[in-house]
Amino acid sequence: MNRTNQVNSRQDEVIDEFDMFSDWMEKYEHIIEIGKDLPPMEEEDKVEENLIKGCQSRVWLSAKLNSQGEVIFSADSDAIITKGLVALMVHILSGSKASVIAAADLYFLEKIGLHEHLSSTRSNGLASMVKQMKMYGLVFSARS
């Protein structure tokens, strides 16, 4: 598979997955399940410097570059819906090249009708997390 498309193909999968749900309740139940299924973050990574502070919920994010030059993200949140959304972000972006992450267009949130979670009024740390993920992409691609 073309590396450039991995982010988009994963987004398209997520969009298809959410197409199955007819109402908001099913959609949120699914997000909550995804949140619950997210493997716990390593305690050593759940530190202050990885904390993205929002007004309402806290998000932790760490990023590592593997030997293949791919960025591996791990993340967590104290709020379960935020955690579900964070897990989706990690699923979509983790394992891609830094330059791909830096340039990624994250259209899936709008398509699955959850773009309001990225608006500044939500202050849930998610918008800051997306910025931070792309920032890691930029930093790692500048290094390589």
Active site members:
55
Q: Which 3 state secondary structure label does DSSP give 37?
A: helix
Applying CB under 8 A, does 55 fall inside the site for another protein? yes
Q: Measure the CA–CA gap between 8 and 79, rounded to whole angstroms.
A: 26
From candidates 37, 56, 69, 119, binder to another protein by CB under 8 A: 56
* Cα–chain center distance at 45: 16
Using CB under 8 A as the binding rule, the residues of this chain from 88 to 127 that contact another protein are 117, 123-124
Q: Is 79:36 a contact under the CB 8 Å cutoff?
A: no
Using CB under 8 A as the binding rule, the residues of this chain from 24 to 53 that contact another protein are 24-25, 28-29, 32
35 vs 95, beta carbon nearer another protein: 35
Applying CB under 8 A, does 13 fall inside the site for another protein? no
Q: Is 50:58 a contact under the CB 8 Å cutoff?
A: no
CB of 105 to another protein, least distance (A): 25
Applying CB under 8 A, does 58 fall inside the site for another protein? yes
The single-letter code of the amino acid at 135 is M
For Cα atoms 38, 40, 45, give the angle at the middle one, nearest 5 degrees.
125
13 vs 78, beta carbon nearer another protein: 78
8 vs 123, beta carbon nearer another protein: 123
From candidates 34, 52, 81, 112, binder to another protein by CB under 8 A: 81
**From edge to edge, which strands make up the β-sheet containing 70-77?**
51-53, 58-65, 70-77, 96-97
Residues of this chain that bind another protein (CB under 8 A): 24-25, 28-29, 32, 55-58, 78-82, 117, 123-124
